[in-house]
């Protein structure tokens, strides 16, 4: 798990367990699946934790910028899933059911070199998503 993230999460030790950020993190961790901001809001409300949607969106934005969650965009729907891997990684998203798998390999250094050669930019980071159909959703071969 991201150290920077935990530092920010536990900055105020007194607030630790009731801090909205911690509760949102806990909820995503318990869910073991992706959640929409509305689902998070409802789940927290059920536990008598009323955290405003704005606050939820803000926390999710922060989590995303720290690489703690992955934002899954499918048409107009947005869902968030807690990342299991702390290190740099990529994701493949099923176009049918929206399930996500983390890919623990990244082999695009040649590609980065080509980007530098063609643009003169020094490449320091990249984001890349894969899309397809999971085993369950794969259209059967004819």
- Contact set with Zn ion (CB under 5 A): 70, 83, 94, 96-97, 102, 106, 134, 137
Nearer to Zn ion, 55 or 85 (CB): 85
What is the closest distance, in whole angstroms, from the C-beta atom of residue 40 to Zn ion in the complex? 18
**Cβ-based burial of 134 (10 A; exposed 0-12, middle 13-18, buried ≥19):** middle
Residue 13 CB, nearest distance to Zn ion (Å)?
28
The least distance separating Zn ion from the CB of residue 82, rounded to whole angstroms, comes to 8
Residue 56 or residue 83: which is nearer to Zn ion going by CB?
Answer: 83
Which of 53/101 has CB closer to Zn ion?
101
Cα(132)–Cα(142) distance, integer angstroms = 18
93: helix, coil or strand? strand
For the record, the structure tokens of 78 come out as 């947005």
């Amino acid at each position: 798990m991201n150290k920077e993230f935990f530092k920010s999460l536990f900055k105020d030790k007194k607030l630790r367990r009731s801090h909205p950020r911690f509760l949102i993190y806990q909820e995503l961790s318990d869910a073991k699946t992706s959640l929409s901001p509305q689902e998070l809001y409802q789940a927290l409300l059920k536990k008598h934790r009323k955290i405003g949607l704005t606050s939820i969106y803000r926390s999710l934005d922060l989590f995303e910028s720290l690489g703690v969650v992955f934002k899954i965009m499918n048409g107009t729907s947005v869902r968030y899933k807690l990342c299991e891997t702390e290190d740099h990684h990529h994701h493949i998203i099923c176009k049918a059911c929206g399930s996500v798998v983390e890919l623990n390999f990244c082999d695009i250094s040649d590609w980065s070199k080509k980007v530098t050669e063609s643009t003169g930019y020094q490449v320091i980071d990249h984001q890349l998503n894969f899309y397809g159909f999971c085993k369950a959703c794969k259209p059967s071969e004819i």
